Amino acid sequence: MSPEKLEINVAMQIQKPINEVFEAIVNPEKMTHYFISQSTGIMEEGKNLIWKFPEFDFECPVRVGKIEKDKYISYYWENSGKELLVEIKLSESLNNSTLVSISEKDMDNNEAGLKWLSGNSFGWSNFLACLKAYLEYGINLRKGAFDFMKK
């Protein structure tokens, strides 16, 4: 990463087998329990999807990139008119756990980029916490958490 470009990198260990974590990320029926409210389909290579979020009144176009079952998920979405790459890597960890590593790139190192870096770093950390709560405890941490942001 150059000093002119900003990139987000977050990671968290989920105490579930890798196949369960993978399925929870690509399957919208599972994703609606911790991240989105709706999707036009399952994440599959080359698919164009529309995601809706429970607390925001907009449609988010998602262009799925490469998918490697139980290992890797990539997709593109837009921020401030720029298409950004999200990469999710899964690796087996101790005690049948899964390490989930997420990167999103990239934005210019300027005021808009710094705002994106701050907001989406929080967003991806929250995604991981919500994924963990859902898979390990069956809790939807996101429910009602961002109602204050509704316009």
Structurally, how many domains does the chain consist of? Answer: 1
**147 belongs to a structural domain:** no
70-125 confidence digits (pLDDT tens): 999 999 999 878 899 999 999 999 999 999 999 999 999 999 999 999 999 999 99
CB contact at 8 A, 30 and 43 = no
Question: Quick check: is 146 in a domain?
Answer: no
Which residues span the domain enclosing 69? 5-141
- Which is nearest to 34 in space by CA: 150, 123, 137, 133? 133
CATH number, domain with residue 55 = 3.30.530.20
